[in-house]
């Protein structure tokens, strides 16, 4: 690989991972684009759509304790109750990152 190509690769790497290293109180771009409308910026689902569709408060620690990561990934991929499926809109790594983001919501809330 020549110098120029290497620079391009490291730039692409930076761009791809930049959202993950942003300030912790900011939601990822995928969250803002696909999830905020119902779950809100804080995951508490206090939005109009969230109330209408009865989305739960994802920051609830007791609820988080009762489910495992596989269930979160599955719910995002295939949908859950009134929640649409995202398996065709997002890639598997994106869905896993969002599942981790769901987990991070509870720590911030406490
Ligand atoms: C159209 C509104 C809507 C959108 C958009 C939406 N959700 Fe949901 N979500 C819901 C509803 C409704 C539920 C069901 C509430 C429940 O499980 O009690 C839910 C449930 C969940 C659950 C819990 C599922 C379970 O297994 O209990 C997770 C985690 C979740 N959403 C994450 C996300 C993520 C991440 C996104 C973005 C990719 C997203 N949601 C987008 C409405 C939405």
Q: What is the CATH number of the domain that holds 93?
A: 1.10.760.10
The answer to whether the beta carbons of residues 58 and 43 sit under 8 Å apart is yes
Query: According to the model, what pLDDT value does residue 102 have?
Result: 96
Does the residue 90 lie in any domain? Answer: yes
Does the residue 15 lie in any domain? Answer: no
Instruction: At 61, list the tokens.
Output: 């620690």
Please give the model's pTM, rounded to 2 decimal places: 0.81
Q: Is 83 helix (H, G, I), strand (E, B) or coil?
A: strand
Ligand 1 site residues (CB inside 6 A) read: 34-35, 37-39, 49, 53-56, 58, 67, 71-72, 75-76, 80-84, 86, 98, 102
Does the residue 12 lie in any domain? Answer: no
Question: What digits encode the pLDDT tens for the residues 19-55?
Answer: 554 455 679 999 999 999 999 999 999 999 999 999 9
Task: Please give the distance of CA 86 from its chain centroid, rounded to a whole number.
Answer: 11
Give yes or no for residue 109 having a pLDDT over 50.
Answer: no
Cβ within 8 Å of residue 36, ≥6 positions away? 27, 47
Could you give the number of structural domains in the chain? 1
Give yes or no for residue 86 having a pLDDT over 60.
Answer: yes
In angstroms, the Cα distances linking 10 to 18, 22, 97, 109 are: 12, 18, 21, 35
């Amino acid at each position: 690989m020549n110098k120029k190509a290497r620079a391009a690769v490291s730039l692409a790497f930076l761009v791809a991972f930049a959202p993950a290293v942003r300030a912790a109180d900011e939601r990822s771009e995928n969250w803002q684009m696909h999830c905020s409308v119902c779950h809100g910026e804080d995951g508490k689902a206090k939005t109009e759509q969230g109330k209408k569709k009865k989305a739960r408060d994802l920051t609830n620690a007791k609820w988080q304790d009762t489910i495992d990561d596989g269930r979160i990934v599955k719910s995002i991929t295939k949908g859950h109750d009134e929640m649409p499926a995202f398996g065709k809109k997002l890639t598997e790594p994106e869905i896993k990152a969002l599942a981790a983001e769901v987990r991070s919501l509870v720590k911030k809330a406490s």
